[in-house]
A and B are shown apart, each in its own frame.
Chain A
Amino acid sequence: MWVFMEADVTSALFFVTQGSSMADTGVVETLLQRIEKADDGVDSLQLATSLGVDHQTVVGAVKSLQAVGDIISADLRSSKRWELTEEGTETAEHGSHEARVFGSIPLEGLAQSELMKLSFGKIGFSKAMSNKWIRLDKGHEGGPRIFRSVENIEDQVRERLLLVQTGSSSELEEKEKNELKKRKLLSEVTVKTYWITRGDSFSTTVTKQETELSAEMIASGSWKEKKFKPYNFEALGVAPECGHLHPLMKVRTQFRQIFLEMGFTEMPTNNFIESSFWNFDSLFQPQQHPARDQHDTFFLSDPALSHEFPQDYLERVKKVHSEGGYGSQGYKYDWKVEEAQKNILRTHTTAVSARMLYKLAQQEKFTPVKYFSIDRVFRNETLDATHLAEFHQIEGVVADYGLTLGDLMGVLHQFFTKLGITKLRFKPAFNPYTEPSMEVFSYHEGLKKWVEVGNSGVFRPEMLLPMGLPEDVSVIAWGLSLERPTMIKYGINNIRELVGHKVNLQMVYDSPICRLDS
């Protein structure tokens, strides 16, 4: 018997594709005829019983009719009923264990050991004993032997089960039913049935429904007469076969787009190997600065040193570090070219900004520029859930006459507005090569606090003037990491799940398009 449970409510998609095989046309027709004859309605279970078919078949017919339209109206009803278990069904067919034990003992008796070999022997023996149908002669020669102690028996257990099987369980007393339940022959189940009545557009003839539109139907025009099975719009479609872009790269594309919209030109940052000179010295970062330590920066053993520098410029850099000049006290230390020659994996893309600004200073006439880059940088740091040895730095630079700190804040405001961040405030900070320097904070509505989103500043004269840039040119700049906004955007807590070979490809497959401002 088909127990109709919630989870089993067959999805209509299944129904559409397999409908014609499932809904037995004969049953559908009979059902419609019975409804037409009935005064009030038809019970699905009673119909199944009377037709001698499985309840499932009738339910299938009901569903198929419901899917066609308002032909019938079916109310789901649930009721409790007794039902035979597997063992109960067997008992109804072959008799109870005790009756079978009685039946298998001939008049001359049977050795107990022989009886116990039978499948029903053990249970049947004890039941038959307690019913006093049999007796045991323990002292019989040749071992204990069993004899009938009555001539005839009445197998009530079987008779009761048969009543249940034919749908007359109401004739049994509760006590009797519970006793059978205890013997695991009966079980009480909830049965969901349909009470089927006529629908608004009731008819005993149903047009056969088509599953899909075909080329033949379009050609012949037959689709006009046909009825089509409805689709299940609740189900998911079939996933398309496709490739995917990496989420970090999608975010990179958006940041690139923002800079381009703002008129910034992309810097050539395809040089991971840099000399300490361009990475640090040209930026007026002193040679004893902790960032230049082995613990923070990757140095190269091969090629260990750079040998080619613009010599005039190098001399000016040396001088501004060791003696000052350009209005500066300098750092007053013994600047060593050997330290500047050391090759490293660049620690920031600002090394490229320095190269670009130096090249700008070598132009015949200064022209304003707006530059940006998004590329990899490297730090020999301790790794954790949010720090890797390499990450992407986003950087923006504007060089023009007379730029102010207010201009830097204005540009940052425009930039972050494009990321959907409008509430900004600025904290004075320290960077060796910018003065003033500002940390950029934005108000995080979720965390209810200000969080740092970037770093910014105005490049120091000690960096710009030795390059040869005019004195009244200011260069404003800012930077942030690409990974952090991406992790926030895509809800990733461990950076290794985003970058590197340990990435979960399913995450890559599932990542949505990137719109930073929404």
Chain B
Amino acid sequence: MGSLCADVIVLSIQAKVLQTLQHGHCADVEFDELCFEFGLELDEITSEKEIISREQGDSKASGASDVILYKIDVPANRYDLLCLEGLVRGLQVFRNKLEAPRYRRVSPVSGGPQRLIITPEPSSVRPHAVAAVLRNITFTQERYDSFIELQEKLHQNICRKRSLVAIGTHDLDTISGPFTYTAKAPGDICFKPLNQSQEYTASQLMSLYKTDSHLRHYLHIIEDKPVYPVIYDSNGVVLSMPPIINGDHSKITLKTKNVFIECTATDVTKARIVLDMMVTMFSEYCSQPFTVEEAEVVYPDGKTCTYPELAYRKEKLSSAFINQKVGINESTEKLAQLLTRMCLRSQPTGVGDEIEVEIPPTRSDVIHACDIMEDAAMAYGFNNITRTTPRTYTVANQFPLNKLTELLRQDLAAAGFTEALNFALCSQDDIADKLGKKISETKAVHISNPKTAEFQVARTTLLAGLLKTIAANRKMPLPLKLFEISDVVLQDPTKDVGARNSRRFCAVYYNRSPGFEVIHGLLDRTMQLLEVKPGRGEGYHIQASDDSTFFPGRCAEIFVHGKSVGRLGVLHPDVINRFELTLPCSALEMDIEPFLGHTAETLLTHDVPMQEVITHKFPTSQAPPSRP
């Protein structure tokens, strides 16, 4: 199982707001339990003041709000739970206290729909746009804050920090359509941006926002493009310069009654989802709740699309499928009820055990029947499912290399050496300069984005780590006798990824005298354990060798069955110094893979066949039920 923590987005909600909207008093413990069942995690109950005092000290916190905040972890694919409105709606439907609302797209009461016309220019920068209108909305401070917060949450997550989608919201009564989405050279765009008192050209804005703690993170998205995206109204008023900033002219306030929402994007699927999410969450506050006024988007080729999509998709699946996958035995009716509690309105079709499930526009995370199955399991309660033991009969096998490693480790400790455990990543210096080698000789793989020098390369030798362990433990009684059996990484063009691991055994002896005989004795003992007898030809022997890591004349190469497997010797004084050590030290490092030999275990490798021999039957008509 991969990432060891599930993907979550953290949501902060004021306790009093949550409670009033829930129409009932829900104790913290009860709320915690409810969240758990619903797949949310009530991470902590805190306040702005508490957070600041924890992060920056008490002095900074004085004056901060001590309104109680609930910090809730929301699954990263549930964009419908990213604001108070959606969260409360989801929980109330789950608790059977509310029926899931139906979101409707409506035409304007009078006149044609608002139109957003896309010119050919943005196609190279940010080709897509979608739009919608929230008519006769009533904002309060809390609703307004939530509206802004949801945009921010969507921007940070599904919009991938505005790179995929950027949302702009405007007071429709301050502007007049049709709107034009175009792109211009930065010098040719000039407007007063949000919360500024004067006009700037786009070029000036880019330098102005270089130091803005928030906006500077988005500049790179368009910075080096020849043209920047921009949206104008019919009078030439700038609505926004996506994905950076809106115009000040059309900004929404608490008094705004009609909101024009536009989303520009490089990924139109995500733009549609984001727009659906914005309007489904806040149409609750329109004079006709849960209705959204449509807008038309005209593409350069004349194609016209009407948004928001607000598509309800229908899927059919059998209750046997759900029961079998979850491991329960519930009736078709009961399963339909369970799904309905998850905002997936469902009913038996009457054909066998078939259930028809309606996936609302808020549930973009439902892309397969298995997602529906999971929702049924959640509503049933994961912890109500009987825990069963699968009858899968298998015989266990060890990975031969790990088996050898495990056995060898035991006996090396019995030989008086202590096991160290070092990082696989290190600096170039550790494996090259400090050991008297050139980095080009090491066959190391290089990391392109290390945050510090400690993560520049994967180690090509275990020796550096052991010497660093000694340096950190100089206060310990002498002698220090350490070993490690672990993997190093080497470039290998014969592998699909161009690199491979190599399992090594390394040991060091650190004392007032070099103790070459001790390390040599350990080699003899290791060979005895590996059933290799001393001797040239079929046995093992060592012979004098030159290696810049070792003291001249004090290094030997280890040969097993005539092949070189490693080296041992007394370290060069320069190497000792570079690792901040002061005493003589002898060391041994060798490959252990040559000792695998024949094994009864199944031979396992992560290499995959590049040609498929078996012909599988894959569905020919791959198109899934499409959106209406």
Contact = CB atoms under 8 A, between A and B. Distances in A.
Contact of A265 (B157, B383, B396): B396
A331 B374 CA distance: 19
Contacts of B8: 429-430
Interface stretch (B175-183, B554-562, B607-615): B607-615
Contacts of A500: 421-423
B610 A345 contact: no
Given A427-B382, A436-B373, A390 B425 contact: yes
A268 B2 contact: no
B6 A243 contact: no
B497 interface: yes
A398 interface: yes
Given A298-B450, A406-B387, A431-B7, A324 B616 contact: no
A271 B497 contact: yes
Contacts of B327: 404-407
A468 B614 contact: yes
Nearest to A266: B399
B609 A501 contact: no
A438 B418 CA distance: 39
Nearest to A364: B614
Residue picked from B365, B395, B606, B614, most chain A C-beta under 10 Å: B606
A243 B385 contact: no
A170 B324 CA distance: 101
A291 B269 CA distance: 20
Given A260-B398, A301-B448, A325-B622, A403 B2 contact: no
Nearest to B444: A302
A435 B371 CA distance: 6
Contacts of A310: 608-612
A362 B612 CA distance: 7
A410 B388 contact: yes
Interface stretch (B11-19, B284-292, B466-474, B539-547): B466-474
Contacts of A457: 1
Contacts of B369: 327
A325 B611 CA distance: 22
Contacts of B499: 273, 300, 303, 343
A507 B450 CA distance: 30
A95 interface: no
A402 B77 CA distance: 27
A245 B409 contact: yes
B447 A300 contact: yes
B102 interface: no
A411 to B, nearest CB: 7
Contact of B458 (A241, A304, A345): A345
Nearest to B604: A268
A308 B399 contact: no
A404 B324 contact: yes
Nearest to B413: A243
Nearest to A370: B394
Interface in B361-418: 365, 367-371, 373-374, 377-378, 382-383, 385-390, 392-399, 401-402, 406, 409-410, 412-418
Contacts of A405: 325-327, 377, 382, 385
A7 B62 CA distance: 54
A193 interface: no
Interface stretch (B36-44, B134-142, B186-194): B36-44
A330 interface: yes
A504 B473 contact: yes
B5 interface: yes
A269 B390 CA distance: 25
Interface in A261-315: 261-275, 283, 288, 290-291, 294, 298-313
B76 interface: yes
Contacts of B618: 316, 326, 465-466, 468
Contacts of A499: 421, 423
A431 B458 CA distance: 28
A368 B382 contact: no
Contacts of A468: 612, 614, 616, 618
A428 B40 CA distance: 8
Contact of A328 (B398, B604, B624): B624
A266 B613 CA distance: 25
Given A246-B421, A328-B368, A306 B413 contact: no
Contact of B367 (A328, A348, A413): A328
B502 to A, nearest CB: 8
B387 A390 contact: no
A456 interface: yes
A428 B39 contact: yes
Contacts of B326: 404-406, 436
A255 to B, nearest CB: 12
Given A326-B618, A390-B423, A430-B39, 8 more contacts: A244-B419, A249-B409, A290-B160, A300-B447, A306-B497, A326-B619, A328-B368, A503-B421
B455 interface: yes
Interface of B: 1-8, 36-39, 41, 75-78, 157, 160, 164, 267, 269-270, 324-328, 365, 367-371, 373-374, 377-378, 382-383, 385-390, 392-399, 401-402, 406, 409-410, 412-425, 445-451, 454-455, 458, 465, 468-469, 471-473, 476, 480-481, 483, 487, 489, 491, 493, 496-501, 503, 602, 604-606, 608-614, 616, 618-619, 622-624
A262 B368 CA distance: 32
B3 A361 contact: no
Nearest to B618: A316
Interface stretch (A28-36, A102-110, A350-358): A350-358
A160 to B, nearest CB: 55
Contacts of A462: 368
Given A362-B612, A405-B377, A390 B390 contact: no
B383 A352 contact: no
Contacts of B394: 263-265, 368-370
Contact of B390 (A267, A332, A410): A410
A88 interface: no
Given A404-B326, A407-B388, A259 B500 contact: no
A242 B370 contact: no
Instruction: Name the 4 nearest CB pairs between A and B, nearest first.
Output: A406-B327, A479-B1, A404-B327, A428-B39
6 contacts: A265-B394, A270-B487, A324-B623, A368-B392, A378-B425, A427-B36
A305 B498 CA distance: 8
B189 to A, nearest CB: 28
B496 A430 contact: no
Given A249-B419, A299-B447, A501 B374 contact: no
A474 B471 CA distance: 50
A456 B387 CA distance: 14
Nearest to A465: B618
A302 B377 CA distance: 46
B449 A431 contact: no
A246 B420 contact: yes
B526 to A, nearest CB: 13
Contact of B612 (A304, A313, A333): A313
Contact of B424 (A260, A272, A302): A272
A132 interface: no
A249 B2 contact: no
Contact of A430 (B6, B422, B468, B611): B6
A458 interface: yes
A409 interface: yes
Contacts of B471: 501
Nearest to B369: A327
A48 interface: no
Contacts of B425: 298, 345, 378, 389-390
Contacts of A503: 420-421, 469, 472-473
A259 to B, nearest CB: 7
Interface in A407-438: 407, 409-411, 413-414, 425-438
A300 B455 CA distance: 11
B77 A430 contact: yes
B610 A311 contact: yes
A192 interface: no
